[in-house]
Chain A
């Protein structure tokens, strides 16, 4: 099983250390993402989605720790590795994009220096072609003028542009696996549509596996093939996206869907939306 899947997580436990007491945040989570597959992880805020993501590459803040669990990335067991031994994996074997693009960039560094940092930390920064690689990566996410973008500072770009830069930074090392934690939550709907389409295209082109974390079932419906539903640190239901939407089994999944469809109740009263939804 581990060989066919891009990422396999077994019985993952994460706790919060609060003085002498331990608060369990992730309680025995298991899932697998196949190569070229998109697994949507959905749940309420505070349910442990982001903590699960961060623990995969050992990026947890110091007061949290993984106490148990196996993590297989591309068939290799990485859960036993020390943080320093994991460094080469980050970005090269599994890339990550996060929710808030504004706080993920160094405000006083240009896009060029961000690329330089990423590439050089994987031993690629010194080669002559590295800026070319950066430009190709930016062109891939839809910038017609990558050379100009390289000279910009984060504050000179909109949230949607920054998020596309983040995607291109994350993917410039051609990682076969991507962890996308709420990649479109802070963006407006037009930028969101652009990023989602981009992820879809890249996933198909590169046969990339994606762990897509979101709280919006609309995003799941658009992209995911399989869905894992998380509630209070546990995965309560997993299944193909069509089955989850048509016949949810767990009460929590039903609650999510009810809230989701509730949001659309009034939408179909607008002819413009009705038309747009009908077209697809």
Chain B
């Protein structure tokens, strides 16, 4: 069964001109994708290919011009307030820009605690220990809960965002370039952590990245997005070699050598 399904999504934005005659740019053209229960789908594309628009639409943060978003079989756009609220518990996201995704006046502890106290009634001490455990899971310390966002480095703050996203053990996590700015040791740790959650809880991931190294490390199927269109798809990673598209080849070509040249 598919836990998240996008059907022929179209999206365009107006461009230029402050008054009248604004032409529209089509950012997504009939995009269809499906994410199986417990699966990890890698979405590969250059910056500007429409990856992030797609993730905002999948989250229900933006309505598509046309098309359907099915989350656990229900159309997200047709949900009422209550149902949408409940869907959010199971559909979480980690964005690339960590500093822009947290309230600068909330401590890390408050950031991670927010989804828990939104959806569950827990005592203060239980909340504190859960937040501490979550922070430790992502390689921070429980005492970091007292810090404000600007007191963290970018990589540390990204881990706070990941802790927030997995706090409620959601069904689906959308990782929008979530690990690309992390250093390699933390990146490896976070990818292992996410893989572990997947094994334990059956969490599904939509892993969005421009870096095939990260996608290959974690995903089991691959879709290539270019100028708003899916130009390549492999149900199983072993079939990815058959994808023939200039953009896909260029992205492969740009992979850095693991060893120094010469």
Where the two chains meet, the residues of A that have a C-beta atom closer than 8 Å to any C-beta of B are: 43-46, 158-160, 185-193, 215-222, 224, 241-242, 245, 255-256, 259-267, 269-273, 276-277, 280
Given contacts A188-B210, A267-B212, A270-B216, contact A44 B186 (CB under 8 A): yes
Name 13 interchain pairs, CB-CB below 8 A, sorted by A.
A43-B183, A44-B186, A189-B211, A189-B254, A215-B184, A217-B184, A217-B258, A219-B256, A224-B260, A272-B241, A272-B248, A273-B252, A276-B253
Q: Do A263 and B240 touch (CB < 8 A)?
A: no
Alpha-carbon distance A140/B149, docked complex (angstroms): 39
Question: Closest residue to A103 on the B side, CB-wise?
Answer: B99
Given contacts A45-B154, A259-B188, A270-B212, contact A264 B252 (CB under 8 A): no
Q: Do B188 and A262 touch (CB < 8 A)?
A: yes
Counting chain B residues whose Cβ lies within 8 A of the other chain, the interface size class is 35 or more
Min distance, Cβ B240 to any Cβ of chain A, angstroms = 6
Question: Closest residue to A159 on the B side, CB-wise?
Answer: B47
Within 8 A of A (CB), among B162-191: 180-188
Min distance, Cβ B28 to any Cβ of chain A, angstroms = 18
Alpha-carbon distance A243/B261, docked complex (angstroms): 12
Min distance, Cβ A127 to any Cβ of chain B, angstroms = 35
Q: Do B185 and A277 touch (CB < 8 A)?
A: no
Q: Do B155 and A45 touch (CB < 8 A)?
A: yes
In the complex, what residues of A have CB within 8 A of residue B152's CB?
46
B199 at the interface (CB under 8 A from A): no
Min distance, Cβ B194 to any Cβ of chain A, angstroms = 14
User: Which 8 pairs between the two chains have the least Cβ-Cβ distance?
Assistant: A218-B256, A45-B155, A215-B183, A46-B153, A188-B210, A266-B216, A272-B252, A189-B254
Partner of A259, one of B187, B211, B241: B187
Partner of B257, one of A160, A186, A188, A218: A218
B156 at the interface (CB under 8 A from A): yes
Q: Do B184 and A216 touch (CB < 8 A)?
A: yes
In the complex, what residues of B have CB within 8 A of residue A222's CB?
256-257, 260-261
Q: Do B185 and A44 touch (CB < 8 A)?
A: yes
Min distance, Cβ B159 to any Cβ of chain A, angstroms = 10
In the complex, what residues of B have CB within 8 A of residue A255's CB?
185
Partner of B216, one of A219, A220, A269: A269
Q: Do B155 and A44 touch (CB < 8 A)?
A: yes
Alpha-carbon distance A167/B240, docked complex (angstroms): 36
Interface 0/1 of B132-153, CB less than 8 Å to A: 0000000000000000000011
In the complex, what residues of B have CB within 8 A of residue A271's CB?
241
Partner of B186, one of A45, A190, A262: A45
Alpha-carbon distance A189/B48, docked complex (angstroms): 13
Alpha-carbon distance A158/B238, docked complex (angstroms): 33
Given contacts A189-B255, A221-B259, A276-B255, contact A259 B185 (CB under 8 A): yes
In the complex, what residues of B have CB within 8 A of residue A267's CB?
212-213, 216, 255
Partner of B181, one of A185, A261, A264, A269: A185
Min distance, Cβ B168 to any Cβ of chain A, angstroms = 26
Q: Do B182 and A45 touch (CB < 8 A)?
A: yes
In the complex, what residues of B have CB within 8 A of residue A277's CB?
255, 257-258
Interface residues of A, dominant DSSP: helix
B26 at the interface (CB under 8 A from A): no
Q: Do B156 and A46 touch (CB < 8 A)?
A: yes
- 13 new A-B contacts, CB < 8 A, other than A44-B185, A259-B187, are A44-B186, A45-B153, A45-B182, A46-B152, A46-B153, A158-B48, A191-B47, A192-B256, A215-B183, A222-B260, A264-B213, A265-B217, A270-B252
Given contacts A193-B254, A259-B187, A267-B212, contact A158 B47 (CB under 8 A): yes
Min distance, Cβ B63 to any Cβ of chain A, angstroms = 24
B9 at the interface (CB under 8 A from A): no
Q: Do B255 and A273 touch (CB < 8 A)?
A: yes
Interface 0/1 of B92-117, CB less than 8 Å to A: 00000000000000000000000000
Min distance, Cβ A62 to any Cβ of chain B, angstroms = 14
Q: Do A192 and B48 touch (CB < 8 A)?
A: no
Q: Do B260 and A263 touch (CB < 8 A)?
A: no
Q: Do B255 and A260 touch (CB < 8 A)?
A: no
Min distance, Cβ A270 to any Cβ of chain B, angstroms = 6
Q: Do A261 and B183 touch (CB < 8 A)?
A: no
B249 at the interface (CB under 8 A from A): yes
B29 at the interface (CB under 8 A from A): no
Question: Closest residue to B182 on the A side, CB-wise?
Answer: A45
Question: Closest residue to A279 on the B side, CB-wise?
Answer: B253
Question: Closest residue to A185 on the B side, CB-wise?
Answer: B181
In the complex, what residues of B have CB within 8 A of residue A221's CB?
256-261
Q: Do B188 and A189 touch (CB < 8 A)?
A: no
B207 at the interface (CB under 8 A from A): no
Question: Closest residue to A227 on the B side, CB-wise?
Answer: B260
